[in-house]
């Protein structure tokens, strides 16, 4: 799962990236590379399973965060995203849009005024326009193709692109529209930006951290949209959090009235928004959490681990996490009948502990 941080200059992306990943902003910048960070998904179940199975290593699920440089450094007036940037953005599974709600005389605002709703609207407009441009381009070629040699697939693609265009011209991002599975297949390759799940991170002013609900009120219309979420955080405070030893963290958070670190909140929201769930595998070498989309069948879940396991799939031996923890041993689960044999069409559930049987 790859999540791209995006937003206007000086909105706090690098600060948040550092807070999420533990990498210092200067580290990444100094190397002159695009900062990519793999963040472990906190999941107590993995720890618990590792205690029981005592494997050589335990591997939690991970999410990749990337901060793409949007505009040329130093050019603070230019807030638009470049074509090259938008192209890279298309490879993301979800977008994390950071908008600035902090005032700081030491950090001049590129637009002179703090207005996160405006910044959100502007970013959405950029995504819409970029998608429209992709569609216009494709349209021309498709129409020529159909004129020369009419075929069903092209005609269907043209029809779904027309639907997309109507939405975009009406300023409705594509993520609000539920496409039929066959339509989805036809447009998947375009990786439309406005179709990606969007998490808006409102970078709060430190003094507003206790009035989060109030500050976020103007974002209500977005928070209620499908595939969209809004969360408040302070990138600066989240950075400071990293300095705190575990023992003092709770007290520090309580001081600010913060329930849990933004990193945990963001990861949980990403899972919810993307419809992700985790299943677990175990063995003497490793206990591991795997991330899949809700609705993934046993066969495809096996494929996540290795294509051989998918190819030679025989069956899955499944026990739900809670049932396993209740007795603490697989043979005991077998005796009690909580360990089930499932076929390739079994939809994997969150917390399933699975052993795949396969032969190649």
Site membership for ligand GDP, residue 217 (CB under 6 A): no
H or E stretch at 222: helix 220-223
Among 79, 194, 203, 281, binds ligand GDP (CB under 6 A): 203
Backbone angles phi and psi of 168, in degrees to 5: -65, -40
Site membership for ligand GDP, residue 308 (CB under 6 A): no
Nearest distance in Å: CB 35, ligand GDP: 10
CA separation for the pair 154, 142 (Å, rounded): 7
Q: Which residue, 123 or 302, has its beta carbon nearer to Mg ion?
A: 123
Angle at CA of residue 16, ends 10 and 22, nearest 5°: 135
Q: Residues in contact with ligand GDP, total (CB under 6 A)? A: 16
CA separation for the pair 10, 32 (Å, rounded): 18
Q: Which residue, 79 or 195, has its beta carbon nearer to ligand GDP?
A: 79
Q: Which string of x and - marks every residue 102-141 that binds ligand GDP (by CB under 6 A)?
A: x-x--x----------------------------------
Site membership for ligand GDP, residue 234 (CB under 6 A): yes
Give the DSSP letter of residue 285.
S
Calculate the CA 285 to chain-centre distance. Answer: 29
Q: Which stretch binds ligand GDP (CB under 6 A): 42-50, 99-107, 160-168, 192-200?
A: 99-107
Site membership for Mg ion, residue 100 (CB under 5 A): no
Site membership for ligand GDP, residue 202 (CB under 6 A): no
CA separation for the pair 318, 321 (Å, rounded): 9
CA separation for the pair 274, 196 (Å, rounded): 10
Nearest distance in Å: CB 325, ligand GDP: 40
Site membership for ligand GDP, residue 232 (CB under 6 A): no
Site membership for Mg ion, residue 13 (CB under 5 A): yes
Calculate the CA 151 to chain-centre distance. Answer: 37
Site membership for Mg ion, residue 101 (CB under 5 A): no
Site membership for ligand GDP, residue 167 (CB under 6 A): no
CB-CB contact of 101 with 121 (8 Å): no
H or E stretch at 240: helix 235-241
Decide: helix, strand or coil at residue 335.
helix
Backbone angles phi and psi of 90, in degrees to 5: -65, -20
Overall residue count recorded for the chain in this entry: 360
H or E stretch at 185: helix 181-187
Among 14, 195, 228, 270, binds Mg ion (CB under 5 A): 14
Alpha helices in 149-261, H assignment, sequence order: 152-169, 181-187, 212-216, 220-223, 235-241, 246-256
Angle at CA of residue 60, ends 230 and 270, nearest 5°: 15
Nearest distance in Å: CB 288, Mg ion: 33
Q: Which residue, 45 or 109, has its beta carbon nearer to ligand GDP?
A: 109
DSSP string, 255-268: HHT-SS-HHHHHHH
Among 1, 13, 97, 280, binds ligand GDP (CB under 6 A): 13
Structure tokens at 69: 């440089």
Nearest distance in Å: CB 157, Mg ion: 37
Q: Which residue, 174 or 201, has its beta carbon nearer to Mg ion?
A: 201
Q: Which stretch binds ligand GDP (CB under 6 A): 58-66, 137-145, 228-236, 344-352?
A: 228-236
Site for ligand GDP in 14-73 (CB under 6 A): 14-15
Site membership for Mg ion, residue 195 (CB under 5 A): no
Nearest distance in Å: CB 266, ligand GDP: 15
User: Site residues (CB under 6 A) for ligand GDP?
Assistant: 7, 9-15, 102, 104, 107, 203, 206, 234-236
Residues that bind Mg ion (CB under 5 A): 13-14
């Amino acid at each position: 799962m790859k999540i791209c941080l995006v937003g206007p200059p000086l909105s706090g992306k690098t600060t948040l990236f550092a807070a999420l990943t533990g990498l210092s902003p200067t580290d990444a910048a100094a190397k002159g590379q695009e900062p990519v960070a793999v963040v472990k998904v906190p999941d107590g179940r993995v720890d618990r399973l590792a205690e029981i199975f005592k494997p050589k290593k335990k591997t939690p699920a991970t999410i990749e965060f990337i901060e793409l440089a949007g505009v040329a450094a130093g050019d603070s007036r230019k807030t638009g995203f470049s074509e090259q940037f938008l192209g890279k953005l298309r490879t993301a599974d979800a977008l994390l849009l950071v908008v600035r709600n902090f005032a700081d005389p030491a950090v001049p605002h590129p637009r002179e005024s703090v207005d996160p709703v405006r910044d959100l609207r502007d970013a959405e407009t950029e995504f819409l326009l970029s998608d429209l441009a992709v569609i216009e381009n494709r349209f021309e070629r498709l129409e020529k193709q159909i004129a020369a040699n009419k075929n069903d697939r092209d005609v269907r693609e043209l029809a779904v692109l027309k639907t997309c265009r109507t939405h975009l011209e009406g300023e409705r991002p594509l993520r609000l529209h539920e496409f039929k599975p066959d339509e989805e297949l036809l447009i998947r390759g375009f990786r439309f930006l406005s179709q990606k799940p969007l998490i808006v991170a409102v970078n709060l002013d430190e003094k507003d951290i206790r009035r989060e609900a109030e500050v976020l009120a103007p974002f209500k219309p977005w928070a209620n949209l499908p595939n969209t979420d809004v969360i408040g955080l302070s990138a600066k405070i989240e950075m400071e959090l990293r300095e705190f030893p575990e023992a003092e963290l709770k007290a520090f958070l309580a001081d600010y009235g913060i329930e849990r670190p933004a990193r945990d909140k963001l990861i949980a929201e990403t899972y919810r928004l993307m419809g992700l769930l985790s299943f677990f595998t175990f063995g003497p070498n490793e206990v591991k959490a795997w991330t899949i989309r809700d609705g993934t069948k046993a066969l495809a879940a096996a494929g996540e681990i290795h294509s051989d396991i998918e190819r030679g799939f025989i069956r899955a031996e499944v026990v739900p996490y809670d049932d396993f923890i209740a007795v603490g041993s697989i043979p005991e689960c077998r005796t009690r009948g909580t360990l089930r044999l499932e076929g390739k069409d079994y939809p994997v559930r969150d917390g399933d502990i699975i052993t795949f049987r396969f032969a190649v």
